[in-house]
A and B are shown apart, each in its own frame.
Chain A
């Protein structure tokens, strides 16, 4: 039996499940989150905080989706917050987007296989991936594969 790949699902992916246009964002996010037989999904307190502070109509719908998909909620630790701070101090993420650093730090700290995100501005970018990998290597942390749902939703592994 294939092991389930562990996927950190960043907030923007949950948001895309709503009625996001263009439709291919929505469809890829939905397809990924429908593959519970192949993937184990994780969220962190940052995902929870972002969803809780979204406008009420969006928050309610996202909470319904979370309940339906039932991702594994992860604890936050001081090491995660310090690692995120290290990313910021190295200029990988701006301080005004510290949450982005926390998403990546959580997936790194917990040794997850993938971090799925639609944040093309600060997370799903080749330059960020390189910098995160370099920092994690120096600091002794695992680096998850950072990608958008499209790349993961169709992926299959041979036994």
Chain B
């Protein structure tokens, strides 16, 4: 697949996601994203999403 086609595909997906997220509060986005990502990771055998011990860490 041509790299430009891939690039356009990702941009198109991002535009769609932005439209879907319009009007959602941060806590709603986080709840949805973490729930869906946990299921996705489980399906792929990646383990449960984590918060690394060293973070969150501000300079």
Contacts and interface: CB of A to CB of B under 8 A. Distances in A.
Interface string B1-20: 11100110111011111100
Q: Is the interface of B mostly helix, strand, loop or mixed?
A: helix
Interface residues of A, number: 55
Contacts of A70: 45-46
B1 A19 contact: yes
Given A20-B3, A49-B33, A73 B41 contact: yes
Contact of A76 (B18, B37, B41): B37
Contacts of B7: 12, 118-121
Contact of A111 (B10, B15, B33, B57): B57
Interface in A67-101: 67, 70-82, 85, 95-100
Interface in B40-57: 40-41, 43-52, 54-57
Given A50-B13, A99-B18, A118-B7, A72 B50 contact: yes
Contacts of A145: none
16 contacts: A20-B2, A25-B3, A48-B37, A53-B16, A54-B13, A73-B41, A73-B46, A73-B48, A75-B49, A76-B33, A81-B26, A82-B26, A100-B14, A118-B3, A141-B59, A142-B59
